[in-house]
Structure 1
């Protein structure tokens, strides 16, 4: 394994926001929110055809999560994954890496550096990850860096407990929602070390903060909003209420949010309500019906990819254009909804 800090032309400053110029012919950006039953696996395919997988789901289950990821990659026309970014070393995010490598080639692994959580299960999963990626290029990123993907800007916002020191362009305004935000507890788990990224394609902005917990969220949101607003928001931490502070979510003003919950994991009513009530939100989509919640804390069936606990693992797909418009497709029903450019 080669752990590289400034390799492959990785951008190391947000002062240069694009690692590559936008393509002459604007093809759409594709995002697949793959159902890994309450873990994370988000596949991003740029207009140039380069690919980024964010997290790899759970281990075990006869390779279920790896198989679903590979199927999504093939649906997108991919024979390999250019980058696999591991937000943090919890089992539902990193555990599927060994099985994934049995099913598809991977170019570069991206992570935040060594495991920083003192727990036996996390140490075990991190050791399995390191063993699996031996021989692959491995890059540890820091806040302010970017990934070199043609036609796409991938900005690293948080990593290993640190965050960008200054606002993104057109961000930095005082956040009016901070005044009523209660103090957040300390978190010494890997969740707080999650890599968070903002992916930008033209005027379209997509935010994924992994499992970042509230104290770290508030460092991005208060007293000033360092991130600005977004079009698409992957609800943090599967919709658990250890994350999703109102001061951050409401300041982001997402137009659409996707919750990668499982049937019995995530979609906590308190966090669900914060996202649902976010100013300007047009729609919330869920990967699963939350069986342990009530009807008032689940979206309508047409916005849910999997209604039953024992399911086929249907995904939610987003096709985004450089003008900021995008279309969401429910993999279970095939139904689509388009959101016009602003």
Structure 2
């Protein structure tokens, strides 16, 4: 009897210990606190933004420039390493301009990639750099190593951990308002009407990301004319928390019809010192209703001391570029933090 009881107790103890070990491993593998992490990588006036979801999946929006001894690809890989990932599950190409898609070959040499997302064929037949970079991208796809998806407006991207809805694609826009959208847009009257853009910019693959109560908008280089179609006469997007400033803050985008209507709490501008950061856009964003902070990857030489945001919100001030980034950590309740890696200072934004 004692022998049987001893064996039973020993068996139960082994099961409990094994269960505890399994729980410990599971807890260790799960991302801490279930937070969304976003890395705004300095590619000096291009775009490259890395999202890592609580489910451990990753989305890279654009790949920066080619050349420069692989500078941009190296910075992307460094951000991935900091995020604790060894591959990029999805790479979304907003469009095929060199500062967005030029870094593809160098990126693929340095880190595994699973699936590409793009707006479809290149529409800018310039017999120049755009066609060249698109051809290099097609060569990569022809190897058969990578999947590719061409999503349409209204589609939800197959990424676990948040909901990413396509807003714009190949010149097309969502036809119905998103939840919270649909109201008449009074800011359309203060936005001038501009001619239709004929470049790849207007074809940008743009998304809105919903993470719990948090909303983040990234429209790539979508142009002023397309913004007006999207937002007028009714605002199809409603309000967002974080606006990744379109087109690096160049004046071809960021109409009042968009910027004022979305009531973003925070705007993050991936400008370079001499690329993007146009004075009119800096002024529009800084005066936008509801804005708490404008963050910039670089001090804008055009904007000067008056129009740039405060220095503590600039990752790379005047002088030689040091490659500093901005990092965002968000919770499903809508609260988030933004960190300037140059100063290591963090600003907290409480849920609203």
Both proteins in one fold, TM over 0.5? yes
Match of 2:95 among 84, 88, 97: 88
Partner Cα distance (1:262, 1:24) in 2: 32
Report SS of the residue matched to 2:47.
Answer: coil
Match of 2:260 among 250, 258, 262: 250
- 1:193 paired with 2:203, answer yes
Report SS of the residue matched to 1:145.
Answer: coil
Report the counterpart of residue 283 of structure 1 in structure 2: 293
What's the CA shift for 1:219? 1.2
Report SS of the residue matched to 1:149.
Answer: coil
Give the gaps of 5 or more residues in structure 1: 1-22
What's the CA shift for 1:24? 12
Partner Cα distance (1:57, 1:126) in 2: 14
Partner Cα distance (2:31, 2:322) in 1: 38
Larger Rg: 2
Does the 8 Å contact 2:156/2:164 carry over to 1? yes
Report the counterpart of residue 234 of structure 1 in structure 2: 244
Match of 1:151 among 140, 158, 161: 161
What's the TM-score once normalised by structure 2's chain length?
0.89
Does the 8 Å contact 1:110/1:139 carry over to 2? yes
Cα deviation, 1:16-38, whole Å, max 9, x if unaligned, reads xxxxxxx9996010011000000
What's the CA shift for 1:179? 1.8
For residues 158-173 of structure 1, the aligned pairs below 5 Å read 158-173=168-183
Partner Cα distance (1:104, 1:24) in 2: 21
Report the counterpart of residue 19 of structure 1 in structure 2: none
Cα deviation, 1:194-217, whole Å, max 9, x if unaligned, reads 011001100001000000000101
Cα deviation, 1:145-182, whole Å, max 9, x if unaligned, reads 11122221010010000000110012100001112221
Number of residues of Structure 1 aligned to a counterpart in Structure 2: 320
Q: CA RMSD in A?
A: 1.3
Match of 1:124 among 128, 132, 140: 132
Partner Cα distance (1:70, 1:302) in 2: 26
Does the 8 Å contact 2:180/2:239 carry over to 1? no
Does the 8 Å contact 1:26/1:322 carry over to 2? no
Q: Which structure has greater helix proportion? A: 2
What's the CA shift for 1:307? 1.2
Report SS of the residue matched to 2:189.
Answer: coil
What's the CA shift for 1:310? 2.3
For residues 1-342 of structure 1, the aligned pairs below 5 Å read 27-120=34-127, 121-134=129-142, 135=144, 136-342=146-352
What's the TM-score once normalised by structure 1's chain length?
0.92
Partner Cα distance (2:190, 2:277) in 1: 23
**Higher relative contact order (Cα pairs below 8 Å, separated by 6+ residues):** 1
